[in-house]
Structure 1
């Protein structure tokens, strides 16, 4: 049975206070390394396929199994953050991820590589354990800012991993990047073993009941469900854009190669800065106004993308605006959820990440199919519809007081 929430911003009894900016930076680096493990292989599929003599579609299974493994890890392992000693659980998961990466680097055959890819996905959950831990350790006045720092680290890991992967693989082969990633994960595991402070478990509960309580947390609070819906819209929009953006940049009139496309993705790092600013706005009690501004920017970005034509500058402007909008609202949503359910932050983060993952998969599939059938403009129209739907959800939720319990007074 899940204990009832004591209200937004309240710290469970017996929980340590100890979130500092240096520790948040350590968590940000660790989270970035962890989440980057999901994306090392994406630019290398052609190289890997050629090495093992498999087709491009078969090589795509590497990414698919990594993502499926990650979804299972989020659903089945992240809730354990509410009942286990995170000072040991998080570095152990990071160490297991290092072993899986090393297994991929040494894979003698394609079947072994697929198995290791799934294992990488399952064990790459440290970032999603560190984020709710940050919410637990931070005080009310700085929680949004600290979560923003950690969230920025995760975003930087996502955006930079593809570029770094292409550069390392181009110089030393595709296996080299897995060796580098394994070494990074091992070093981070050791650092986290020493850096993660002890915190009291939030609940004493059996594993089956723990997993079931994820759904209880969602069902018991309308603000959680509403915020999950907003997050799903954001991630669907984000993955739709970036999936189709790759095709768009590789085709005429741009004709960019893989390395150039990877460099374009680095423009999205602006979103990492936006996430920190969104955290500060949340700490000041401006979560709801900032959310509507973010979604207005998202709607504008899709309009700019549609109107960009053959202009690379126009597309880059859309990239910056969409990343600022989506990453900013993502951080605002996460802080809001942590305030609504302070006794179950790992479990509510499971619901948040898993919902985003499913929405992202749907957005990617929708974008790919619309682009193949009708081209760039209809994709932009679909993205604008998602942004408009999110604004409608926000308006209805704000009007009915759905979000009231999740927003602290400004101060």
Structure 2
């Protein structure tokens, strides 16, 4: 069965709305800190706990997509997401909110089940563009989540955002049950054998190793920025509200527009060249952040560059790994995305630490060094890989 364009667009729509669950918390940090009478840096823990939960879900749950029917798995996990979002909305202590955030992250892995499903139902020549379209939906969801969350929280409070998210996921549950195709499992062993097979692919697939390492550091940069920028904009000289901070997510829409183009380029003869482009764009974006001062046009330009750069890196790497072992796409994706979101969690923690030690200038310096390290890793693998 070959996916129709309407099917791909539906998958992109669902992917964007579900992945948004991970990012709603970022503009809410200031309000959460005020309600629970804790510091903003301490409240920022909900950002990397959500990402850590996502990494945990990726590692433990996503491989099952090769072992069980994906549609049933997608519906079950989305149901869990509804419960986790309601738990966050009703949390009466910060400790319970942290637990809820871990569960929200772990149950928001549905996009990483949708992507292998789409890859399996798409021909080789269309796989890159298909992944690019779905990734556009994913990025739009990330960006819209920040703007929506900041706006909703500013008007009705941060808990309302989680109630709304639970309602959205409930509606998606019905839509996916009615429209998503069924898939056939490709792995006949038990769970232990399934997990052990992932280490085999790590050892035998150098492309998987390179893609995962580069994505780890790239996600760390992106996550560090989106976590720390809330503190940067909430303090002088800007002193912006949650609503105003959330709207900055819209500036990254250029990254979503770039994803289908990157998807087409990643199906070419040498997709690795896209990685270097993405890394250079990340470095340029940090330069813009460093020299922002009170000039917001540099800050906005940096947001656009960092999101386009991230798309160039992520879509290219995801297309590369899906071409390696077709019958093991969920397991390959598990390794790739688990490492990526561990990087995101580490990046959020790193961004908060750099902010505490030296605020925005040290944040920019520290993240720039991480990008330089990533470029060195890229050059190391350039002598070994051409795809």
Determine if contact 1:165/1:177 at 8 Å carries over to the other structure. yes
Instruction: Please say if residues 51 and 342 of structure 2, whose CA atoms lie closer than 8 Å, have aligned partners that are also in contact.
Output: no
Q: Say yes or no: does 1:55 pair with 2:38.
A: yes
Q: CA 1:63 to 1:239, structure 2 compared with 1: closer, same or farther past 3 Å?
A: closer
Q: Determine the C-alpha separation between the residues in 2 that align with 1:122 and 1:130.
A: 15
Contact 1:217/1:344 (CA < 8 Å) preserved in 2? Answer: no
Residue ranges of structure 1 left out of the alignment (5+ in a row): 1-16
Contact 1:28/1:153 (<8 A) preserved:
yes
Bigger Rg, which one: 1
Aligned-partner SS, 2:76:
helix
Correspondence for 1:362 among 339, 346, 353: 346
The answer as to whether partners of 2:48 and 2:346 remain within 8 angstroms in 1 is no
* Alpha carbons of structure 1 residues 260 and 107: separation in structure 2 relative to 1, 3 Å: closer
**Counterpart in 1 of 2:73?**
89
2:45 aligned with 1:79: no
Which has the higher mean CA deviation after the structures are superposed, 383-392 or 125-134? 383-392
Who is 2:137 aligned against? 153
Deviation of 1:109 after TM superposition, in Å, equals 6.1
Unaligned runs of 5+ in 2: none
Q: Which residue of 2 aligns with 1:7?
A: none
Alignment of 1:1-400 (within 5 A): 17-48=1-32, 53=36, 55-56=38-39, 59-60=43-44, 62-107=46-91, 113-400=97-384
Cα distance in structure 1, aligned partners of 2:327 and 2:344: 27
The farther-off stretch of 322-331 and 110-119 is: 110-119
TM-score by length of 1: 0.86
The 1:31–1:223 alpha-carbon spacing in structure 2 relative to 1, beyond 3 Å, is: same
Aligned length in residues: 386
Shift of the alpha carbon at 1:243?
2.6
Contact 2:227 2:348 in 1 (8 A): yes
| C-alpha contact 1:148 1:277 (8 A) present in aligned 2 | yes
| TM-score, reference length from structure 2 | 0.91
> Per-residue CA shift, 1:248-284, capped at 9, x if unaligned?
2223333322211111122012111112210011123
Whether the aligned pair in 1 keeps the contact of 2:30 and 2:242 (CA below 8 Å) is: no
**Which one is further off, 153-162 or 63-72?**
63-72
Distance 2:340 2:212 in 1: 8
1:87–1:198 CA contact under 8 A, matched in 2: yes
Do the aligned partners of 1:232 and 1:356 also contact (CA within 8 Å) in 2?
Answer: yes
Offset of residue 213 of structure 1: 2.0
Which 4+ runs in 1 deviate beyond 4 A?
45-51, 56-65, 106-115
Residues 1:109 and 1:383: Cα distance change in structure 2 (over 3 Å): closer
Q: Secondary structure at the match of 1:283?
A: coil
Matched residues in 1 for 2:223 and 2:158: separation?
A: 25
Alignment root-mean-square deviation, CA: 2.3
SS of 1:37 mapped into structure 2: helix
> What is the Cα deviation at residue 191 of structure 1?
1.3
CA distance in 2, matches of 1:364, 1:169: 21
Moved more, 234-243 or 219-228: 234-243
Secondary structure of 1:328's counterpart equals helix
With 161-170 and 266-275 compared, the bigger mean Cα shift is at 161-170
Query: Which digits, 9 at most, give the CA deviation of each residue in 1:85-104, with x for residues without a partner?
Result: 11211122112212332344
Give CA-to-partner distance per residue, 1:299-357, whole Å, 9 cap, x none.
Answer: 22222332333311011111111111112211101111111132211111111111112
